[in-house]
Amino acid sequence: MAVGLLGKYREKIILFDADQETREARNTRHILSRFHSKVFLPESVVGAAPMGLRCEEMEGIPDDNRTILLPGATVDLPPLRYYLSVKGVGTRSPMFGFTDIGGMSPSGTWPGANLADHWRERAYHAPVMTGELWFGNGPWGASGVGGPRDSLEITEMATEAGRPQCINGFWLCPVMAYNRIPDWTVKACKGTYWYRKYRGGWFQEVRIVPSDVRLYFHSDAPLGVKPQTVLKAFGIETPEQHDAFIERFIASGIAALTIGARTARRGPKGFELLDYDDVWLDKDSVVAPNGTIHFADVDDIEWRCYETEEQVRTKLARQFGRNFYEFMFGLDLLMTERARLVSTTQTIAGRRSELAARYEMALMGDPCGRTERSSDGLDLVLKPTEKAVGDVAIRLVDFDGGGPR
């Protein structure tokens, strides 16, 4: 098993050359470049391919509903190894309970003549493309153009040499390229839908990820559900290894909660910053084997505009609070596992004291913030990249009875 990949299922994916122009991120053109101009399609549509069209086959690990990871395509970006991930390879489950919607196999490649038979016999192991409108901006099983295009723009913000996966401390899964799904695929699959048809272009994005372990949802072994399984698979066994894992989890997690402060800038109407749209930390991020949280689904990170400094400050506080529970749930589990390892029993006051000390250590080198301790608690003081906004203080932990001595 590849370190970082815990998924137990395998499925075949078929690679074709893209037949339209590939869009690439400038800072990742050298990473796994041979895959940038490939389109990755499920077995269920291969029969619709034009006669004589060249293709190759690879084995992958299903990841969530419409993504596949390819253990055979890796790149080392110290200190981590990353795996090729393709989002938009078809859906492994029907959107609605009504499965007999008339979808016919392009050439008998499904086990039954219709889509209902296919889902019944091979659900979660053999994705299909459908023409159903999803979230108003793409087909169920692939993507519209907006998400992949935005993902490339955000990836290109990582300008530090050798680190295309980090923006001012915020770790992401960089999208290296996106391609339009061939017309022959769309023609074969667009008529398979439930209630509303998607009428735009079909796309998929090519990215890299450090693992398939999500915080709580959408993976075979989420950290929040199987912490001992995950830590063992990652080789985290000693107290010192736990401490290092927790420190990276905190540093990257706080960065994910404060992406707005790390991207704030002047805009035509005042200020601009990145914010989360229909994404959440517990299901849309992955945890690397060293504890670093990477935000995976960057296609739903968007620019927000604000007229005044006060509006920005309010937004930064709200952004932190929106995902704090998901982050803290994982951190609490990790601290509990650390205590179990050394057979330590803590009071809640002792846990708060330990948490404050861990925050201080993990955030010591944060480029966009610092910690400040007072008698009643510990604050995170954000220093937005746009200096005109000024510092923003956010409470990290409260001390009972005047704080630890």
pLDDT digits (tens, 9 = 90+) for 195-244: 999 999 999 999 999 999 999 987 888 999 999 999 999 999 999 999 99
DSSP alpha helix (H) spans, 159-289: 183-189, 227-233, 239-257, 259-263, 281-284
pLDDT at position 105 over 80: no
Q: What is the pTM of this model?
A: 0.94
pLDDT at position 50 over 60: yes
Q: Which of 179, 209, 239 is the last residue of a domain?
A: 209
Q: Which of 209, 238, 253 is the last residue of a domain?
A: 209
Q: Say if residue 185 is in the same domain as residue 263.
A: no
Where b means 16+ CB within 10 Å and e means fewer, 377-403 reads bbbbebbbbbeebeebebebbebeeeb
For residue 255, is it within any domain? yes
Q: Say if residue 77 is in the same domain as residue 154.
A: yes
pLDDT digits (tens, 9 = 90+) for 259-308: 999 999 999 989 999 999 989 999 999 999 999 999 999 999 999 999 99
**What mean pLDDT is predicted for residues 187-196?**
91
Q: Say if residue 200 is in the same domain as residue 70.
A: yes
Q: Which of 162, 182, 209 is the last residue of a domain?
A: 209
Q: For residue 85, what are the domain limits?
A: 11-209
Q: For the chain, what is the domain count?
A: 2
Q: Say if residue 192 is in the same domain as residue 249.
A: no
Listed in order, strand segments (DSSP E) in 93-200 are 133-134, 138-139, 166-167, 170-171, 175-180
CB 396 within 8 A of CB 371: yes
Q: Say if residue 82 is in the same domain as residue 231.
A: no
Q: Say if residue 169 is in the same domain as residue 242.
A: no
Q: Say if residue 113 is in the same domain as residue 190.
A: yes
